[in-house]
Structure 1
Amino acid sequence: MENDVTGAIRAALLRGDYVPRQRLIEADLCEQFGAGRSGVRSALRQLATEGLVEIQRNRGARVREISFAEAVEVTEVRMVLEGLIAARAAERVSPAQAEELRAIGADMARAVADGELMAYSDLNARLHRGVRDIAGHETANQVVERLRAQVVGHQFMLSLVPGRARASLPQHQRIIAAIAAGDPVAAETAMRDHVASVGEALRALEARQERAS
């Protein structure tokens, strides 16, 4: 039951149901998720270890706010791990899995052509999840998922930046082609280049917001 509560609150955080620095009131969470107070407290402690929540002495829990600088650091770590995962996926990919990745890539191209930014964002997440599933590197997958969860808000902002989807599409196509070809070196390079570009886009977005403020 406690794992169910943790998963439910985590999913709500990742959906953006709560804003950064918002207080997470135990009584409200108990009512919302149909859980006891001990289960909610345990969930909040677990989510604090994942970097999604911070628990303040005598003030309770709140949604942790991630700075742009921290988001860039997280992205730098992801670059290394996701490169490893892409290389592993290229070594393990089956013809059916390669075809599935190509299909996702085709859907991504159509979403860009149609200006469907939210659909592209969903397909982006699906592609990266598919690569992780093919790689089957459980330790790396778990670490990447935790890191990704911490910066989901920043990535959502990036997905709405004009031209971002069009710029990232060929990067994703390179990743798909390398994995489908069974080329681990090319797959790792393509993935690292892509994630590095995410860090650069985050820096540019921060600079843009600072100029506007």
Structure 2
Amino acid sequence: MQRRSDQSAATLVADPPEAEVSPRRPPAGRVKSAEIRDILEQEIATGERHAGERLDEQAVAARFGVSRTPVREAINQLASAGLVALIPNRGAFVRETGLGELVEMFEVMAELEAMAGRLAARRVDPKRRVQLAEALAACQSAAERNESDAYYYENERFHEAIYDACGNGFLAAEARRLHQRLKAFRRLQLRVPHRMRQSLAEHRRIVAAIEAGDGETAEAELKSHILVQGERFADLVASLKPKQG
């Protein structure tokens, strides 16, 4: 895949199909900083908010009908994920993420996850086996409902179970940090047609390998599972066609 670090990854992503898009504003009385963050995150990842654009706290608060406190919390979370830059005395601005940088992060993520899978196959205990099985079942339920956002959050739980099972706290912390950094893009690619089903099938193979104590296969499956989101990201982007008419 050709890398183009001078081009924003966000500008390459077309809006997801209308039926798959989450509500643009949560119901009144239920707006939380996490919900605001998710919506702003989606807008950044799809290019609706362009690199360099200022996030006006007051305008965002008015849009959601909340005080500036949850908005500030949401923006701080986006900054922690590397999607927003906080500039003293100026405010928060959408950060440009080049496609080359994005692919490099996916490559590192694949290596971290692969190592976690290999160690989990050797070290998983009965408690972690149950957690992994429950997370897989929750992913399957979300996929059967065809709810990509619900699947994404269950997918987070699935990968958390692998991190917990690997028995290496430092590795788990680094994987969680990068997972958070790539969240917006991993979430978006689940809206590609059939990707949820493919992801679920990959999850099943990963769990089977860990259950069998097969570290080599668990490592290979997890590496492939992440790289499909990175090395093939251009193909995933190309399949996200804007709604016509």
- Offset at residue 165 of structure 1 (A): 0.5
- Contact 1:24-1:62 at 8 Å conserved across structures: yes
Q: 1:134 offset after TM fit, Å?
A: 1.8
Alignment of 1:191-210 (within 5 A): 191-208=222-239
Could you list the runs of 5+ residues in structure 2 that have no partner in the other structure?
A: 1-31, 45-50, 62-66
What TM-score does the superposition give when structure 2 sets the normalisation length? 0.65
Q: Which runs of 4+ in 1 moved over 6 A?
A: 26-29
Give the aligned partner of residue 15 of structure 1: 38
Counterparts of 1:169 and 1:60, CA distance in 2: 40
Moved more, 13-22 or 195-204: 13-22
Find the partner of 2:111 among 69, 75, 80.
80
- Residue 148 of structure 1 is matched in structure 2 by 179
- Counterparts of 1:164 and 1:81, CA distance in 2: 22
TM-score scaled to structure 1, two decimals? 0.73
Q: Deviations over 1:44-86 (max 9, x none)?
A: 6x97676333245874431323233322221111000111111
CA drift at 1:175:
0.9
Distance 1:141 1:65, change over 3 A: farther
**Equivalent of residue 63 in structure 1, options 90, 94, 97:** 94
Which deviations, in whole Å up to 9, do the C-alpha atoms of 1:100-130 show, x marking residues without a partner? 3123223323332332333322211110011
1:191 to partner: Cα distance: 0.6
Contact 2:78/2:84 (8 A) holds in 1: yes
Higher helix share: 1
User: Is the contact between residue 87 and residue 187 of structure 1 (CA under 8 Å) also seen in structure 2?
Assistant: yes
Residue in structure 1 matched with residue 198 of structure 2 by the alignment? 167
Identity score, percent: 33
Q: CA RMSD in A?
A: 3.5
Q: For residues 164-188 of structure 1, give each alpha carbon's deviation from its aligned partner in whole angstroms, at most 9, with x where no partner exists.
A: 0111111111111111222222211
Structure 2 SS opposite 1:109 = helix
Task: Name the residue aligned to 1:32.
Answer: 68
The number of equivalent residue pairs is 197
Q: CA deviation at 1:91?
A: 1.9
195-204 or 185-194, which deviates more = 195-204
Residue 122 of structure 2: aligned partner: 91
Partner of 1:5: none
Call closer, same or farther: CA 1:89–1:14 in 2, change over 3 Å: farther
Q: In structure 1, how many angstroms separate the alpha carbons of the residues matched to 2:226 and 2:198? A: 12
CA contact (8 A) 1:14 1:149 kept: no
Q: Which residue of 1 aligns with 2:162?
A: 131
Distance 1:109 1:58 in 2: 47
Residue 37 of structure 1: aligned partner: none
AA aligned to 1:164 is R
Q: Structure 1 residues 210, 77: CA separation in 2 closer, same or farther (over 3 Å shift)? A: farther
Q: Which residue of 1 aligns with 2:218?
A: 187
